[in-house]
């Protein structure tokens, strides 16, 4: 059994890639892929992915042509969104602060 990560990929469509933290190699993402702190996820044209954080079930719905980096620690969670459009369904009452950081602004 694989160790639990920060988040899990629960749905994919089309081309979705993972650049693990500290790696230079891209890997294809499948349902069940475990994501770790610092991982980069990319969707290509026509691609789509749904990511669920393992602790509070917050969902990230990544549309096509998205690139995000997951940053998660004990008190806060930041999704660095370098490009694209996504929908974030944050669990109400979550114990962590949730932030979305883009090249031009930060929302929390």
Do β-strands 27-28 and 16-19 pair in parallel, antiparallel, or remain unpaired?
A: antiparallel
Q: Is the dihedral of CA 74, 34, 11, 1 positive or negative?
A: negative
Q: Decide: 49 and 15 in contact? Cβ < 8 Å.
A: no
Q: What is the pLDDT of residue 95?
A: 73
* Tens digits of residue pLDDT in 22-67: 999 999 999 999 999 999 999 999 999 999 998 888 999 999 999 9
What distance in Å separates the CA atoms of residue 26 and residue 23, rounded to the nearest whole number?
A: 8
**pTM (predicted TM-score):** 0.87
Helix or strand run (H / E) with residue 19: strand 16-19
Segment 78-88, tens digit of pLDDT? 899 999 999 89
């Amino acid at each position: 059994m694989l160790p639990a990560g920060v988040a899990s990929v629960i749905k994919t469509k089309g081309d979705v890639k993972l650049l693990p933290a500290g790696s230079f190699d891209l890997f294809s993402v499948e349902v069940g892929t475990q994501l770790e702190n610092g991982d980069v996820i990319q969707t290509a044209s026509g691609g789509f992915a749904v990511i669920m954080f393992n602790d509070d079930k917050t969902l990230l719905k990544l549309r096509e042509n998205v690139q995000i980096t997951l940053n998660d620690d004990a008190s806060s969670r930041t999704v660095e969104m370098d490009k694209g459009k996504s929908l974030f369904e944050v669990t109400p009452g979550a114990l962590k602060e949730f932030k979305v950081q883009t090249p031009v602004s930060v929302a929390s």
